[in-house]
Amino acid sequence: MSGKGILFDFDGTLVPNLDLADMRRQIAAMATTAGVPDAVHADLYIVEIIEASHAWLNAQERIGTTLANQYAAASHQRIHDIEMEAAGKTRLFDDARRVLVQLRSAGYRLGIVTRNCREAVITMFPDMNEYIDSLHARDDVEHLKPDPRHLQANLDALGADPDVSVMVGDGALDMQAGRELNMRCIGVLTGSNDADALGAAGADEVLADYRGLVRLLT
């Protein structure tokens, strides 16, 4: 690999933030209703709540594998339904396409690495293939960021070297994952985290929004 790439988070970075706090509350409530103690999933990300709760339910002989799997399937479906409802009302930030074109023209390969589902991304960005070289959504990978393998899968698809590539996102987990791969990490203040949180997570620079990337990287 020798190319240079820019990996983008999606919601909160290229589109307005989906209501993840409400989604998390709903998924945590489903776990509680299924009988999972709050301590099992406290402080976890949304998908990880489902995984930890599913594992706990599987370990309870009185519950059994079938009910545990039913809980997990229903929880994943709830995430999908919430995402798709929000996606139908959400579109890319103004000027995002122009910025992506400029970055591509500067020689970067562009990827999206997101914990959203692929269907939601395409709904919000229907002409994505005209601007983005590779998408790795939640349903495309086994390991989700902050696990760096999520980012590495996208870099591999781009043929990009992490040492000369950039991770752009609004979340601490974006910075954490990029830092694990020795990528340059750029936070944007269009989502859920402030400059202090992004800096603490490993951001090299923090920008008001993605439009500053053209000045910074070209």
What is the number of domains present in the chain? 2
Q: Are residues 121 and 66 in the same domain?
A: no
Q: Residue 67: pLDDT band by 50, 70, 90 thresholds?
A: confident
pLDDT of residue 65: 82
Task: Mark whether 47 and 112 lie in a shared domain.
Answer: no
Confidence at residue 36, expressed as pLDDT on a 0 to 100 scale? 95
- In a shared domain, residues 56 and 109: no
Question: Which pLDDT belongs to residue 21?
Answer: 86
C-alpha span between 72 and 98 (Å, rounded): 40
Whole-number percent of the chain with pLDDT over 70:
99
Is there a single domain that holds both residue 52 and residue 72? yes
- CATH number of the domain encompassing residue 112: 3.40.50.1000
The verdict on 98 and 35 lying in the same domain is: no
Note the pTM of the prediction, 2 decimals. Answer: 0.93
pLDDT above 90 covers what percent of the chain?
A: 92
Q: What is the rounded average pLDDT for all residues in the chain?
A: 95
Segment 164-193 shows an average pLDDT of 97
Q: How far apart are CA 23 and CA 43, in angstroms?
A: 14
Residues 115 and 209 in one domain: yes
End-of-domain residue from the set 44, 65, 87? 87
Q: What is the pLDDT of residues 93-136, one digit of tens each?
A: 999 999 999 999 999 999 999 999 999 999 999 999 999 999 99
Query: What's the pLDDT band for 1 if we cut at 50, 70, 90?
Result: low
Q: Quick one: 116 and 187 in the same domain?
A: yes
Query: Which pLDDT score, from 0 to 100, does residue 163 have?
Result: 97
Last residue of a domain, one of 87, 107, 123: 87
pLDDT score of 20 more than 90: no
* Whether 63 contacts 56, CB under 8 Å: no
Neighbouring residues of 212: CB distance < 8 A, sequence distance ≥ 6: 188
Sheet holding 109-113, edge to edge: 134-136, 109-113, 5-8, 166-169, 184-188, 205-207
Strand partners, 135: 112
Last residue of a domain, which of 58, 87, 116?
Answer: 87
Q: What is the arithmetic mean of pLDDT over 187-193?
A: 94
Task: Give the mean pLDDT of 35-40.
Answer: 95
- Structural domain span for residue 129: 5-17+91-217
Are 95 and 182 contained in the same domain? yes
Predicted confidence at residue 159, as pLDDT, reads 97
Q: How many helices (H) and strands (E) does the chain have?
A: 10, 6
Looking at the fold, whether 75 and 128 belong to one and the same domain comes out as no
pLDDT digits (tens, 9 = 90+) for 150-162: 999 999 999 999 9
Of 171, 206, 208, 178, give the one whose Cα is nearest residue 6: 178
The 3-state DSSP class for residue 166 equals strand
The mean pLDDT value for 25-29 works out to 96
Question: Given CA atoms 19, 195, 206, 49 in this order, what sign does their dihedral have?
Answer: negative
Residues 99 and 56 in one domain: no
- Helical pair 46-58 and 64-87, crossing angle rounded to 10 deg: 170
Residue 146: pLDDT over 60:
yes
DSSP 44-84: --HHHHHHHHHHHHHT-TTTHHHHHHHHHHHHHHHHHHHHH
Same domain, 175 and 68: no
Residues 101 and 199 both lie in one domain: yes
